Amino acid sequence: MAVKHYRPTTPTLRYKTTTTQGQLTTDKPHKPLLVPKHRSGGRNNRGVITVRHRGGGHKRFIRIIDFKRDKIGVPGIVETIEYDPNRSAFIALIKYLDGERRYILATVNMKVGQRIVSAEQAEIAEGNCMLLANIPSGTMVHNIELREKKGGQIARSAGAYAEVVAKENKMVQLKFPSSEIRVVRESCVATVGQVSNANHINMSIGSAGRKRHLGIRPTVRGVAMNPVDHPMGGGEGRSSGGGHPVSPWGQKSKGVKTRNPKKLSSKYIVRRRNKK
């Protein structure tokens, strides 16, 4: 998929880019697989804003995506490839042999009429889902499980993939584009291929209005505020106060580790992306 640029007839269009959607085949979703999306505006159950800069935006429906791919042994055919407003990747509507329809993540080269299947062992073709133990080294995979039967959790966004590089002691080593290498149990499943819409990362939003359509409200810099509103506010002229960057509540916002040490998955990471 290519990046589309616009003739700069307005100042906004000079910077706006979109991804071409030639892979899409319809703009009408399958209604039985739609669920209304409740928008919280960043507020918790007490009505307090816990995530800032959220609100407004276009109304959306949630598309129910089959991340588990548990339709074992039942072949299906790709009916349509559609846009999903809730994710960066495109999705594909699959009609199975028994008549059931499900949405899955579309791959880069997926086309209407293509046959797919989920099985313990299947043909190495885009869209097919199988055990990692049966996927040969050098194959690109996505929608990878971390726990058996839980559903895919890794490599689900646009253009994402991992490469199977080695197998040892009932574990499979996966290498990601960031150079990180992680091990996953060979009894987990993954889908062959790279996720669609790989050029999404190169897209420039280009205008404030487009940002608001996404449900993202404006962000004001702390140094532009008054001292009463932000620790970095105030000062004669442009000044940041000389301290370290902090949040409005005084917490350091750069260079501080935020991962929970009790939930670290370090034992499954062979090589970190920061090469330390």
Look at residue 25 in the predicted model and tell me its pLDDT. 94
Which own/partner pairs from 4-11 qualify as long-range (CB within 8 Å, at least 24 positions apart)?
Answer: none
Look at residue 170 in the predicted model and tell me its pLDDT. 92
| pLDDT tens digits, one per residue of 213-226 | 999 999 999 999 99
- Residue 52 near residue 92 (C-beta atoms within 8 A): no
The strand ranges marked E within 32-168 are 34-36, 61-63, 76-82, 91-96, 101-105, 115-116, 129-131, 140-142, 144-145, 152-154, 162-168
Nearest to 164 by CA among 184, 178, 148, 146: 184
Low-confidence ranges of the chain (pLDDT < 70): 1, 275-276
The strand ranges marked E within 97-180 are 101-105, 115-116, 129-131, 140-142, 144-145, 152-154, 162-168, 171-175
Look at residue 209 in the predicted model and tell me its pLDDT. 94
Alpha-carbon dihedral angle through residues 68, 108, 168, 269, given to the nearest 10 degrees: -80
Q: What share of the chain is helix, strand, coil (3-state, %, to 5)?
A: 10, 30, 60
| Domains annotated on the chain, with CATH | 19-201 (2.40.50.140), 220-269 (4.10.950.10)
Look at residue 136 in the predicted model and tell me its pLDDT. 94
Cα 173 to Cα 9, 30, 162: the distances in Å are 50, 37, 10
Tell me the whole-structure pTM to 2 decimals: 0.90
The Cα 63–Cα 102 span in angstroms is: 10
**Residue 172 φ then ψ, to 5°:** -120, 130
* Opening angle at CA 80, ends 75 and 81, nearest 5: 110
